[in-house]
A and B are shown apart, each in its own frame.
Chain A
Amino acid sequence: GQQLNQSPQSMFIQEGEDVSMNCTSSSIFNTWLWYKQDPGEGPVLLIALYKAGELTSNGRLTAQFGITRKDSFLNISASIPSDVGIYFCAGHPDRGSTLGRLYFGRGTQLTVWP
């Protein structure tokens, strides 16, 4: 199956700092999604990207669909304690019948110190 490499695996930052994480794939994707999972909850969709080069914001979050179509980035500005959680990238490959299946990165665990 498709492999998504997400980095870093974990981050420990001070409140107010900016955060960057990224995701790369071995093949071209036509959709990139970013999810956040709070402890004990299911993942919640943060941002969806559908076009190469697309840059989309959701409050303090900004995500970009890489122009090679093999990567995506998520930035969080001025982090706050409630940003704590696991952030997942996910995507749909460009070719073939996928039947809606998503491929996921292994997640970035974010810890924010007050």
Chain B
Amino acid sequence: DVKVTQSSRYLVKRTGEKVFLECVQDMDHENMFWYRQDPGLGLRLIYFSYDVKMKEKGDIPEGYSVSREKKERFSLILESASTNQTSMYLCASSFRLGAKYSNQPQHFGDGTRLSIL
């Protein structure tokens, strides 16, 4: 079974802090994704990565950055946390079958519920 592990289930931070959310997958997947989930808005893609050191902006990248130094690990960074970044953050991973194209399902972690005070 695919295992996507997010480092924390719950996290409380203060405004202005630099926040790191970590995600590790054990299935040798090329693609990794970060989403945030807010009531009524569904899942919104922040950033994704299709290979080590590669990253692509999703729909809401402002205020976030990412790091992919190893294939199995994808980190989301809030450079200076703000209260509007309080949310549920979900990490996912999937296989990439071709050079630029993949239609494989994504597998999700259990999420990190982040509160910024």
User: Using a Cβ cutoff of 8 Å, how many contacts connect chains A and B?
Assistant: 70
- Most-contacted residue by chain B among A42, A100, A105 (CB, 10 A): A100
C-alpha spacing A104/B95, complex, angstroms: 18
Q: Output the least CB separation between A2 and chain B (Å).
A: 10
Beyond A99-B48, A99-B100, whether A33 also contacts B105 by CB under 8 A is yes
Give the contacts of B94-113 with A (CB-CB under 8 A): 94-96, 100-111
Chain B: number of interface residues, binned into ranges: 20 to 34
Among the 9-residue stretches B13-21, B35-43, B78-86, the one with 4 or more Cβ atoms under 8 Å from chain A is B35-43
Q: Which residue of A lies closest to B9 (CB)?
A: A40
Residue interface mask B15-56, A partner, CB < 8 A = 1: 000000000000000110100000011110100101000001
A100 touches B110 (CB 8 A): no
A contact patch SS: loop
Is B90 engaged at the interface, CB distance under 8 Å to the other chain? yes
Question: Which chain A positions have C-beta within 8 A of B111?
Answer: 40-42
- Most-contacted residue by chain B among A35, A88, A98, A101 (CB, 10 A): A101
B102 touches A100 (CB 8 A): yes
Is B62 engaged at the interface, CB distance under 8 Å to the other chain? no
Is A92 engaged at the interface, CB distance under 8 Å to the other chain? yes
Beyond A99-B50, A100-B48, whether A105 also contacts B102 by CB under 8 A is no
A-B CB contact pairs (8 Å), 18 listed: A35-B108, A42-B90, A42-B108, A42-B111, A43-B43, A90-B106, A97-B100, A97-B101, A98-B100, A98-B102, A99-B48, A99-B50, A100-B48, A100-B101, A100-B104, A102-B33, A102-B106, A104-B42
